[in-house]
């Protein structure tokens, strides 16, 4: 979009092969931020602009929350640059730099507007600008540099998609087997996947790289799993078997087993890294991870209530929000349509385009 200021002629766009790129260095196609891997467009827009004295150039795009604009520019002299939109008779400018020659940024709109990137030349001489930009989908990274994501099954239920909050696809964990359940650890960088394959029943993946770390065979097809509070151990169980299996994440060692006096219905890791809670139809067992043994039967769950910790019967009904439900119930968020919430580091986006190692 081009607009005149007080009758001044708007900037003219110079062709891609112009020699101007030699003057101040043309930008390679890979110059955009790593976050550009979130983008919808397969190729970025690249233009070269020549601005006369008191001339300006605008790029205006319709954007809304959940989208982003990944842009970069390089000019031969410092220019005035801003990103703005018009609201009635007012001009709102979320980004403004009075003197700048280079910038590489990702702009996240906080409202649905027509946002304009504008460069203005205050110099008496002409100024050349090389511009690259892409429009896509994404949300601002969290404080630790990661994106809020969901891990969800694909249509065949044999692979796990990592998608952003606007359902944009970021990466895929290629499993290649029918998946029954999957669980993230507390730091959200390890994923245990339970499949129907007896030779690859339990698979552990590194989430940032989507690579398979360990693979284990099980006698019974596993149905649910839980990580210990310190992410050192993972427990595996099946509601049709009294066998509880535990393996060490870092070591990838052989599975240790414990025969339970009941059939488990759900597993839940206590906030105390020493304990695992196992729910059956009639009672809850408290199990120590190492050594693997039952430390208490008819166990009660610690429930934080204000500044006090109450120990409650996990089979009792909770009436939070007016909806009665047991305090300790099986969780299958991973198999829901929304998927399992997690985090995905922005540093992993460049690796996300490569297929992962999966079970074969």
What is the per-residue pLDDT across 33-73, written as a single tens digit (0 to 9) for each? 433 334 444 346 889 999 999 999 999 999 988 788 889 99
Q: How confident is the model over 275-295, as a mean pLDDT?
A: 90
**Which residue's structure tokens are 């990944």?**
70
Contact 277, 328 (CB under 8 A): yes
The residue with greater pLDDT, 113 or 166, is 113
Architecture of domain 146-353: 7 Propeller (2.130)
Equal fold, 12-137 vs 146-353: no
Q: How confident is the model over 278-290, as a mean pLDDT?
A: 89
DSSP per residue over 18-44, as a string?
-THHHHH-PPPGGGS-GGGGGBS-SS-
**Whole-number mean pLDDT of the chain?**
78
Is the pLDDT at 167 greater than 80? The verdict is no
Going by pLDDT thresholds of 50, 70 and 90, the confidence category of residue 249 is confident
Share of the chain above pLDDT 70, in %: 72
Domain boundaries, the chain: 12-137, 146-353
**Rounded to the nearest 5 degrees, what angle is found at the Cα of 322, between the Cα atoms of 317 and 325?**
30
Contact 313, 293 (CB under 8 A): no
Contact 72, 108 (CB under 8 A): no
Interstrand relation of 284-288 and 275-279 (parallel, antiparallel or unpaired) = antiparallel
pLDDT of residue 149: 87
Going by pLDDT thresholds of 50, 70 and 90, the confidence category of residue 10 is very low
Is the pLDDT at 230 greater than 60? The verdict is yes
Q: Name the CATH topology of 12-137.
A: Jelly Rolls (2.60.120)
CA–CA dist 117, 11 (Å, integer): 13
The model scores a pTM over 0.85: no
Is the pLDDT at 313 greater than 70? The verdict is no
* Exposed / middle / buried, residue 310 (Cβ in 10 Å: 0-12, 13-18, 19+): exposed
């Amino acid at each position: 979009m081009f607009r005149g200021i007080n009758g001044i002629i708007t900037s003219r766009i110079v062709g891609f092969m112009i020699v101007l790129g030699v003057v101040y260095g043309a930008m390679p196609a890979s110059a955009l931020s790593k976050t550009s891997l979130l983008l919808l467009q397969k190729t970025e827009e690249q233009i070269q602009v020549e601005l006369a004295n008191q001339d300006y150039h605008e790029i205006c795009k319709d954007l809304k929350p959940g989208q982003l604009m990944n842009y970069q520019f390089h000019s031969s002299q410092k220019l005035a640059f801003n990103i703005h939109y018009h609201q009635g008779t007012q001009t709102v400018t979320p980004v403004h730099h009075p003197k700048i020659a280079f910038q590489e940024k990702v702009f996240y709109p906080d409202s649905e507007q027509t946002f304009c990137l504008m460069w203005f030349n205050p110099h008496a001489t002409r100024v050349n600008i090389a511009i690259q930009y892409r429009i896509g989908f994404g949300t601002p990274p969290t404080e630790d540099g990661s994106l809020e994501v969901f891990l969800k099954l694909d249509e065949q239920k044999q692979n796990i998609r990592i998608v952003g909050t606007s359902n944009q696809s970021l990466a895929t964990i290629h499993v290649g087997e029918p998946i029954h359940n999957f669980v993230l650890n507390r730091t959200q960088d390890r994923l245990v996947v339970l499949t129907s394959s007896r030779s690859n029943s339990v698979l552990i993946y590194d989430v940032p790289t989507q690579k398979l770390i360990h693979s284990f065979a099980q006698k019974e097809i596993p149905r649910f799993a839980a990580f210990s509070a310190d992410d050192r151990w993972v427990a595996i169980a099946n509601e049709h078997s009294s066998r509880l299996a535990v393996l060490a994440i870092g070591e990838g060692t052989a599975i240790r087993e414990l025969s339970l006096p009941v059939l488990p219905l759900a597993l839940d890791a206590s906030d105390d890294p020493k304990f695992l809670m196992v729910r059956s139809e009639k009672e809850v067992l408290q199990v120590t991870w190492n050594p693997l043994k039952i430390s208490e039967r008819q166990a009660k769950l610690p429930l934080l209530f204000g500044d006090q910790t109450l120990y409650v019967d996990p089979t009792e009904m909770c009436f939070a929000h007016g909806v009665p439900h047991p305090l300790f119930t099986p969780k299958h968020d991973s198999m829901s349509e929304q998927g399992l919430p997690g985090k995905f580091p922005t540093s992993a986006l460049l690796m996300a385009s490569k297929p992962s190692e999966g079970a074969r």
